[in-house]
Amino acid sequence: MATDDEYPVHGVDQTRAELEAHEEGPAGYGMAWVECVLTGDLLSVWALLDDPYRLALVQQWIHANREDADVARFDRDGLAHDLSSPQCVQHPLWPRVHDAVLAELRRDLAGWDADRLGFLSRPRPVSPGYEVVVLGQGTEIRVIDHSRPMVAYPMLMHLTQRGWLIARAGADTAPVPGWPPTFSPGRLMIRVDS
């Protein structure tokens, strides 16, 4: 028979150790990343992105601005490589990339409150080294009531040598870098299990 310490939330069959491992792992990194987006700290946002995601975001920006003289004077592959580096802040185009990417990420999270941010506790591994974390708004621990709609924000997390990184925000599928990059909408989450 399980004790209250093993299952700290009535109706949720996860132990306290399982909840803490998820919170200190991919869910905690995902929540920290969203807080950085909401506060406008793009350098931290950029550092917590998986390399292919950062590359796809930069390629998207370059492709959208390919007619701009300041962009067109660079080789696009070299420019994408330079701007997708976590140390790209010295590049003359970095301020424009910074502003555009941050505006897009913040638009996706419009209305979210960092003080009410939480994660839906059930781990969702999708392949080796990848896990989907679903964030929601709320201040209490509770079992999800599937009869009431709730706004959720999925994030694909990737366990790398640098730790957990965001492989995609706002969807549960990774982007495909290229010219232009592909950002599939992800799988529709009809039901979110707690």
Name the range with the highest mean pLDDT among 131-135, 151-155, 175-179: 175-179
Stated as kind and residue range, the H or E segment containing 124 is strand 124-127
| Structure tokens belonging to residue 28 | 């905690």
Q: Which domain holds residue 20?
A: 16-169
pLDDT at 105: 86
pLDDT at 121: 60
Task: Domain count for the chain, please give it.
Answer: 1
Q: Write the pLDDT tens digit of every residue in 25-40.
A: 788 888 889 888 888 8
Q: Write the pLDDT tens digit of every residue in 67-98.
A: 999 999 999 999 999 999 888 888 999 999 98
| Structure tokens belonging to residue 127 | 């392949």
Comparing 27 with 4, which gets the higher pLDDT?
A: 27
- Evaluate the omega torsion of the peptide bond into residue 154 and state whether it is cis, within 30 degrees of 0: no
Residue 103: which CATH number? Answer: 3.10.450
Assign 102 a pLDDT band (cuts: 50, 70, 90).
confident
Decide if 19 contacts 8 (C-beta within 8 A): yes
172: exposed, middle or buried (Cβ count in 10 Å: 0-12, 13-18, 19+): buried
pTM of the model: 0.81
For the chain, what is the mean pLDDT? 80
In-domain check, residue 2 = no
CA 19/CA 34 separation, integer angstroms: 20
| Structure tokens belonging to residue 98 | 């910074």
pLDDT at 23 over 90: no
In-domain check, residue 135 = yes
Neighbours of 87 (CB within 10 A): 10
Assign 158 a pLDDT band (cuts: 50, 70, 90).
very high
